[in-house]
Amino acid sequence: MNSKNLLVVLVILVSVIGVLGWKIKSTSSSDGNSKEAVTLVTEPNPLKIGQATFIIMVKDNAGKAVDNATVFFDLNMTAMNMGTQQGNATSMGNGKYSATARLSMRGLWKVATKVTMPDGSLIEKDFTVNVE
C-alpha cells in the first residue's frame, strides 16, 4: 500500500472514531441483575485537552448514595498508550468521588473504575469518553 492510500485510510479511520465518540458510552462488567449504579460525569463537558475532573457517582441496590466506598480509577487512551493515570478517587460526599487527570491528546479515552462497596463487594464499570 503506498503512502497516499495509507493516509486516506488513516483519515477515514480517525473520522469514524471521531463520529462514534460524540457521546460518553459505557459498558458494565456487572451481571445485569444488580441495581447498584456507577455513573460518570466530566468537567469540562465536553472534554478538552488539558486538566479534567472525573466525578464518579456510586449508588447501592436501594438507589441511595454510597459515601464509604473505595473508588479506584484507571485512565488511558484507547487508540494508543499515552501512559496510564490511576489512583483512588477522593470522596466528595453524597456518593460522589472525584479524580483529576491530564488529557494530552484528542480522541477516545477509557476510564476503568473499580468500586469496592462497604460490604466488600466489587463493581467494575468502564466508560469511554471523547476528548475534543
Terminal alpha carbon distance of the chain: 30
Residue 81: its pLDDT value, please?
Answer: 86
Q: Which helix (H) or strand (E) holds 20?
A: helix 3-20
Residue 124: all three cell numbers together: 467494575
Over residues 70-95, the pLDDT tens digits come to 999 999 999 988 888 999 999 999 99
Residue 20: its pLDDT value, please?
Answer: 44
Structural contact between residues 132 and 93, judged by C-beta atoms closer than 8 angstroms: no
| pTM for this entry | 0.73
Q: Is the peptide bond before 46 cis (omega within 30 degrees of 0)?
A: yes
For residues 126 and 86, give the distance between their C-alpha atoms in angstroms, rounded to a whole number.
13
Domain 24-131 -> CATH class:
mainly beta
For residues 58 and 85, give the distance between their C-alpha atoms in angstroms, rounded to a whole number.
21
Residue 129: all three cell numbers together: 469518553
What is the residue type of 114?
K
Ranges of the chain with pLDDT below 50: 13-14, 16, 18-33
Residue 71: its pLDDT value, please?
Answer: 98
Residue 19: its pLDDT value, please?
Answer: 42
Structural contact between residues 42 and 52, judged by C-beta atoms closer than 8 angstroms: yes
For residue 103, what are the CA distances in angstroms to 40, 73, 109? Answer: 16, 14, 9
